[in-house]
A and B are shown apart, each in its own frame.
Chain A
């Protein structure tokens, strides 16, 4: 069964460093998402992406964040200058259609900022 994959599974970085989290969505899906989950809290939406541009972003997704689909398969989230509060689990998700369709989540990247 097709699935969303993410790399790396864990990332430890120093405050102020840049990190890139990578995702490979399910191949025929058209809509891509990043969510994050701070330990013990709920899943929070960061950004949605369709047709090579951002459809929507939350207030969390400030200028330090950017997303890109550099080729036909990868979808990346970049955090330019990490802060301690960026420590969280980051999930990529994808879906085929825009609405009323299942979003499939990847296994996540656990980011720890020291």
Chain B
């Protein structure tokens, strides 16, 4: 069952902040966040493992609430280069090959 992402789309001005949410109805091993620009492959941003940890990388950070089966991606002081579609991919303990199941994506547009 695929995770649900919200919002579907967000438009920001450079320097503004955004939060993208990802929730699942199933227990999760991990949540993986990717950014994809048009016509390109998804680029890995970060992985959140069960345990409620928060990770950060430059001005992008994320949290994972295992009990609520939710993850949020925080983009702070957005830059033009942040534009793209953000996907969360979830991994659940029931699948033998540890596939990633992706949400529908959140389209982020950062304008000058």
Give me the interface of A with B, judged by CB distance under 8 Å. 31, 33, 35, 41-45, 48-50, 54-56, 58, 91, 95, 98-108
Contact = CB atoms under 8 A, between A and B. Distances in A.
B97 A56 contact: yes
Given A31-B97, A100-B49, A100-B91, A105 B42 contact: yes
A33 to B, nearest CB: 7
B42 A91 contact: yes
Contacts of A99: 29-30, 91, 98
Contacts of A45: 99-102
B66 interface: no
A48 B32 contact: no
Interface of B: 2, 29-30, 32, 34, 40-44, 47, 49, 87, 89, 91, 95-105
Nearest to B103: A42
A45 B100 CA distance: 7
Contacts, number: 70
B100 A100 contact: no
Contact of A56 (B30, B32, B96): B96
Of the listed residues B29, B30, B34, B100, the one surrounded by the most CB atoms of chain A closer than 10 A to its CB is B100
A56 B97 CA distance: 5
A42 B87 contact: yes
A48 B97 CA distance: 6
A43 B89 CA distance: 9
Given A43-B102, A45-B100, A105 B41 contact: yes
B42 A56 contact: no
Contacts of B40: 107-108
